[in-house]
Structure 1
Amino acid sequence: MTQKSRNTAPFLANRYLRAGALAVGLGWASSASAGFQVVALGVHGGVEEGNLTSYLLRDESQKQFLALDAGSVLPGISKALEKGSFPQVTAANSAPLTPQGAVFRNLISGYFISHGHLDHLAGLIISSPQDSKKTIYGSTETINTLRQYYFNWKVWPNFSDSGSGQRLGTYRLNAQRFGQRFSLANVGLNGVIYPLSHGGVGSSMLLVSTAATAQKQESFAFFGDTGADKLEKSQDLNAIWRVLGEEVKQHRLKGIIIETSYPNGIPDKQLFGHLTPTLLLGELAHLQQYAGGEGSLKGLKVVISHIKPSLTAGADPRADIIRQLEQGNQLGVNFIFMQQGDSQTF
């Protein structure tokens, strides 16, 4: 960002903050069946900047989505529109915005950012000049990273409500304590953040649940990057499996999004806080123990995220991971491999 760009920031701020007052205005026919809708805006774990980890989640009774990480946002919205994942959005009812703009500005209510790595928030940063006012939720470590290292007028203008220099105020930074339930604005959901260990970097999982007033309480778990407990010298995943095991017992857990970055065979020292199929299956076996034992996870929907593409000729990490997970799946879980733009109901 040049000094000239910085000098135009007040003009840009006024322009885009006024635009942020647009009403939601997009109709949605609520689904008769309870559950969650997930739209994949980005599914990869690096290399391809247009397809980085980002998902939208909503309670099907609500209009607006919560973004779960934001590695790629606008490219994912375009792909999702192409695939018909936002059938309620048309050129006519989006005006004066484009359909892409209408989804971005009006249907995304806020963001949960699992940790401060670039492949989980680049889309949020780059698209911030044209975003509407929203809340960004995260752990204290993640929010501090955003404040100190991104929205600081050195890497990018400060589009938040705190931190260095002029505060443009598009985003309200909302740090939450681990294990503390909080309300997710405008989406009718509650959240609890739990810590994860990611190769020495603090990451986190968000357990989303429907409001206590809902006819039937349901939950959904979104994991940021994480290594296996045995390699991370951690008990973070074990603590989470205890929590999710109870969710399974109570028939509340509708699904999980969790990473499997590499196929089997990668040396432990080269995983850098990520999972392989063998490591994930081992961790899910711990969840099974807490969920009631053998057979308790049968049919549980587990979305595999953050697969890292390879630039090696002939290599296909995605196909390898799919095969290895399916071959090792003695738990009966339903592994799901979403592509960018896909929509899935849970």
Structure 2
Amino acid sequence: MYQKLCFLILPFLFLQLSAQSFKVIPLGVKGGSDESNLSAYLVAPFNSSDFICLDAGTVHTGVEKAVKASLFKTSAERAIKNNIKGYCISHPHLDHLAGLIINSPDDTAKNIYGLPFCLDVIKDKYFTWKSWANFADQGDKPALNKYHYTYLKEGEEIALEQTQMRVKAFALSHSSPYQSTAFLIQSNDNYVLYLGDTGADETEKSDRLNFLWEAISPLIKTKKLKGIFIEVSFPNQQPAKQLFGHLTPALLMQEMENLARLTGKEAMRGFKVLITHIKPAGNHSAEIKRQLQQSNKLQLQLVYPQQAQLLKL
């Protein structure tokens, strides 16, 4: 009887464990105003503590809260130095970058990954001796050589050093002609997709999201993509002329419908869409959640990350 019970239970436990491919620690989730809680997400394979940081608006405060939540068994300073193995920066706006800059004096050597438009701004505007010390390996002299700029090529997958992951970058439109980036993270044939700030193709007069959906739709159909982190900054009442390259609930759902045309609606049912970058003004958060729920015809699994609360994907 015992052997039969084990025979039945063990495969179930294996499936439960194997279903968890990534762990994500949000260091910051908001879209502005609160400098202690700005866009930054630590991602690692589920069995690893070697993280990549996707954007870096808030770093130290988020790691401190993660330590208090027992997500790290060390100090915040040591976790930043030893567990964050590199940074993928979607675009050089301060709410996605400030934590990296501020914590650079006490950080350890690691890579900053990004498309050229993003890394060039960091090099030419932030890590300069006029605005901050140059902790990178290019730009103003003397270069302190702590950070190495790793220039990504759109659509080309490369290894994320000192981790078990790889990354592929896709350009996004963030209030045209300005750009942002989506990072497709891969580990053991499992994937997670993180989008920095982005407007909808309709409002941006762009096809960049459509290009991205075409690239990742096969991964949804085969259940290899475990979730999409995507912004919804404003409620539907926000005038189109004041979106500044961001999404509303209606625009997000329009884009999810575009994606569903490529995957089939059945593949989207229950698929995890993690909502990021909500602007904290007024009652935006509650209003955005209400509007998303009302328009969720695809029956997506909508998730709202919270700072220092572990996500399992």
TM-score by length of 1: 0.84
Deviates more, 1:267-276 or 1:245-254: 245-254
**Aligned match of 1:202:** 179
Deviation track 1:143-196 (CA, whole Å, cap 9, x = no partner) reads 111100100111111000111111111101111110111111111111110010
Residues 184-263 of structure 1: pairs in structure 2 closer than 5 A:
184-200=160-176, 201-210=178-187, 214=188, 217-263=189-235
Cα drift, residue 289 of structure 1: 1.0
**Aligned match of 1:174:** 150
Question: What is the RMSD computed on CA atoms of the aligned residues?
Answer: 1.1
Residues 117-136 of structure 1: pairs in structure 2 closer than 5 A:
117-136=93-112
Which of the numbers 271, 290, 313 marks the counterpart of 1:300?
271
Contact 1:244 1:287 in 2 (8 A): no
Q: Distance in 1 between matches of 2:262 and 2:67?
A: 39
Cα drift, residue 81 of structure 1: 1.8
Q: Distance in 1 between matches of 2:51 and 2:63?
A: 12
Q: Distance in 2 between matches of 1:307 and 1:301?
A: 17
Specify the code of the residue in structure 1 equivalent to 2:265: E
Cα drift, residue 63 of structure 1: 2.4
**Aligned match of 1:15:** none
**Aligned match of 1:114:** 90
**Aligned match of 1:22:** none
Q: Percent identity?
A: 41
SS at match of 1:296: helix
Q: Distance in 2 between matches of 1:83 and 1:297?
A: 32
2:295 equivalent to 1:328: yes
Q: Distance in 2 between matches of 1:148 and 1:304?
A: 31
Cα drift, residue 32 of structure 1: 4.5
TM-score by length of 2: 0.92
For structure 2, the 5+ residue unaligned runs are: 1-15
Which of the numbers 280, 284, 309 marks the counterpart of 2:280?
309
Deviation track 1:286-339 (CA, whole Å, cap 9, x = no partner) reads 111111x222211111110001111xxxx3111111111111101111111111
Contact 1:114 1:204 in 2 (8 A): yes
Q: Distance in 1 between matches of 2:180 and 2:60?
A: 24
Residues 333-344 of structure 1: pairs in structure 2 closer than 5 A:
333-344=300-311
**Aligned match of 2:7:** none
Residues 71-86 of structure 1: pairs in structure 2 closer than 5 A:
71-86=57-72
